[in-house]
């Protein structure tokens, strides 16, 4: 499956979906303020709450700002595209990128 998706990516270029573009545009507003980015499918989108993570770490004296970049039904290609965009964007405070396996 991964091999097939990589071939499609090579032939067709990076994926461009409305949901990916909307999520990326929203992320761009906060990119340089994020220390931790969570990336994955709807499991990440629905079950990772950045406010809870930030508050829990703050209780332990660790001040961070996290961002949930989860997408429903995110494909391997969409995940790879988001990683490429993050790498090109180089958010100033980014310390950790957590990706759903």
Q: Give CA–CA dist 41/72, Å, rounded.
A: 5
Q: Does residue 92 lie within any of the structural domains? A: yes
Q: Does residue 2 lie within any of the structural domains? A: no
Q: Does residue 36 lie within any of the structural domains? A: yes
Q: Does residue 6 lie within any of the structural domains? A: no
Q: Does residue 22 lie within any of the structural domains? A: no
Residue 6, pLDDT above cutoff 90: no
Structural domain span for residue 57:
27-99
Q: Does residue 5 lie within any of the structural domains? A: no
Q: What pLDDT digit, counting tens, does each position of 30-74 carry?
A: 999 999 999 999 999 999 999 999 999 999 999 999 999 999 989
pLDDT at 48: 97
Q: Does residue 12 lie within any of the structural domains? A: no
Specify the number of domains making up the chain: 1
């Amino acid at each position: 499956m991964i091999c097939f998706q990589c071939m499609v990516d090579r032939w067709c270029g990076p994926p461009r979906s409305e949901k990916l573009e909307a999520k990326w545009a929203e992320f761009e507003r906060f990119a340089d303020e994020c220390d931790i980015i969570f990336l994955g499918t709807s499991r990440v989108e629905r079950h990772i709450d950045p406010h809870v993570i930030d508050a829990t770490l703050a209780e332990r004296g660790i001040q961070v700002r996290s961002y949930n970049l989860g997408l429903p039904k995110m494909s391997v290609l969409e995940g790879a595209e988001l990683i490429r965009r993050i790498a090109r964007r180089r958010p100033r405070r980014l310390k950790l990128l957590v990706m759903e396996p």
